[in-house]
Every structure is written in C-alpha cells, then in structure tokens.
Amino acid sequence: MEYITPYNLDELRVLTSKWGMPGYRALQIMGWIYKKFQTDFELMTDISKEERKFLKEKFLVHALEFQKEIPAEDSTKYLFKTKDGHTVETVLIRERDHLTLCVSSQIGCAVGCKFCATAIDGLVRNLKTEEIIDQFLQVQRRVMPQRIRNVVFMGMGEPLANYENVRKAVEIMVSPWGIDLSKRRVSISTSGLIAQIKRMSKDPILRDINLAVSINAPYEKLRETLMPISKTNGLLELIQTLKDYPYPKGRRIMLEYVLIKGINDTKECAVALGRLIGRHKNKFKVNLIPYNPDPDLPYERPQLAQVYEFQKILWSMGISTFVRLSKGISVFGACGQLRKREMV
C-alpha cells in the first residue's frame, strides 16, 4: 500500500483515470481529506462502494502514529511516531483569534546552531511529504470545529534542506483543491541556505509565502560561532540575496534574531544589525526572540529590559522591530527547544 497525500490533484487525476474512475473523482477524494478532514475511505459517501473498497485496499492516509498530547496554557505539543520508529514533534499555538501550527520538516537537524536543542542529536532523516501533511491532518481533526489558519515551518529541521518534500507539502496546503490556506498564512523559517533561497525566489509555489531567516548576529565571525552554516552561507551574501528577493511591494522578509545573554544582545550588536539592513528598511522586519533555555545547553536568556533596549535602538534607526515572547516553553515546544524527545 502507498500513501495518498503526496499526490497533487493532477497526479491523482491521472491515477483515478487509469483505474476507470470518472474525472471528477480525484477532486472529491481530496475534498473529503482536505476540506472535511475525513480519512476513512468507507465514510466518503458520494463515492461508490466499489471505489471506496478499492481506495481502502490501495491507499493509506496517515503516515504518523499519534503518541502523546502535552498541553500548556498557550500551546499544545503533539508527539508522533514514524513508521521507522522516530519521534516527530508538532506544536499548536493558540493566538488571540486564531490557531497556528508549527510543523517539523526533518527528524533532527544538520545545521548545527549552537543554541538550538534540535541540533544536539544531529540529523536522522528528512520527513516525507505525507509525514509533513499528516501533522496538519491529525492535529486539525483533534481541534475541530476550530480551524488551523496559519502554518509555520519552524519545527524540527531546516525546511530548505528538505526542499522537494516541503515544496509539495506547501502546494497541498495552499492550493484550492487542498487545504486552501492563504499563501500569506504559510511561513518557512530557514537558517539562511543561500542557494535554496534563490531557488525559492523563482519557484511559483514557494516564492509568495512568508519567508523568515535566522540572522542571530550582525557580524560574520560571531554568526559563524553561533551558526556554523554561515561559513558556507556568508552573512553579507545572505543579506544581499534577501535584498534582491522579489517580494511584492508591501511584503517584508522576517529577520529572526535570537537574543542570548552576553553574546549577541549588546547595544553595539543592535546598531550593527541596523547598519546591515541599511537603506532597505522597507524590505525587512526584525523579530527579536529572547533565548529559550534548554538544560543541555549553556546559554541564558537576557533580561527583558535588555531585549526592549535592543528593540528601541532598531526602531530609532527606522527598522520595524518586534519582540516575540515564545509560547510553549513549559513543554519544551518553543523556538529552538524541539528535540525528538518526550516529557518525563
């Protein structure tokens, strides 16, 4: 048996036509899965019994096995197990008027950011399209009738290092025949893989969704210390690539900056970051994230007064800057805390 969720509408139409089903059947099937979130073929009642039986024998929908739900005041972390026994973490964030789902794209991560818990165990493998989509399907079914309106690829892994599977998952999420989210409600967060960002800028599926890039230091050497990937994806080239990114007028790239006590949280760093952005103030907004602690890492969170002073300096330079106080810290579900582990 194979999974049905890696297929887009055109691909599923080819298959259903080959099996002698009417041309509209593929759209009906996708309507059940992505609009009604019904994953039992037997209950897809406007499809003939014979076709339902055939689909049930041919396809699986769920690629992940639900393991545990860990609630917190502002979020819920979900643990899933893959067919080969690995743990995937997904976090549902409750905002004031909507739900946001933070999905994982890899098991572990190879980027190696020194302050990120996900990097401690290295990369195990990429998640497949069906494993990414199933995170959404399973969480959405658990929170019905509320609807998840935002998806952020900010969970375990570097999304652009798993380009094809992430691209296909995004296609399913934003297409009218799929989950049909607005492109402006889907975000990819990357450590700054320059070649993949350039590829993304020319990609009709990915170029219009939100792009967030982890900067974390305004100096090349300091960024290399915190993010070794900067040795091959240099800061200045990265910033220039982002300045050239063909966003429509009025759209801005999010520069994410994790503030770590005594390392990158100084006034000098704030001024240097402002100068790095330079005259391209309308192209970017800065998201300041006070470091989320992990017991296995030596870093500390700065005082909020220091965070707001950093923000004040950037605002004084004309740069839109916001402080993001992460949700899910108590269940190790916040930015940089996901680590394919269970709570004890």
DSSP-derived pairing of the beta strands 87-94 and 99-102? antiparallel
284: number of Cβ within 10 Å: 22
Cβ–Cβ < 8 Å for 234, 276: no
How far apart (Å, rounded) are the C-alpha atoms in residues 194 and 174?
24
The helices-and-strands tally (H runs, E runs) of the chain is 10, 14
Tell me the three state secondary structure of residue 107.
strand
Indicate the annotated binding residues.
109, 113, 116, 157-158, 189, 214-216, 292
- 69 has catalytic annotation: no
The catalytically annotated residue of 171, 300, 335, 342 is 335
- 2 has catalytic annotation: no
The DSSP 8-state label assigned to residue 228 in this structure reads: G
Cβ–Cβ < 8 Å for 133, 169: yes
Per DSSP, what are the bridge partners of residue 70?
A: 77
Indicate the annotated binding residues for [4Fe-4S] cluster.
109, 113, 116
Tell me the three state secondary structure of residue 298.
coil
Chain centroid, CA 185 distance in Å: 11
Cβ–Cβ < 8 Å for 92, 100: yes
DSSP-derived pairing of the beta strands 75-82 and 87-94? antiparallel
Which residue has 């375990």 as its token pair?
156
The catalytically annotated residue of 89, 130, 131, 256 is 89
Smallest CA-to-CA distance from 188 within 156, 211, 215, 155 is with 211
Chain centroid, CA 192 distance in Å: 14
Amino acid at 113: C
Q: Which residues does the annotation mark as catalytic? A: 89, 335
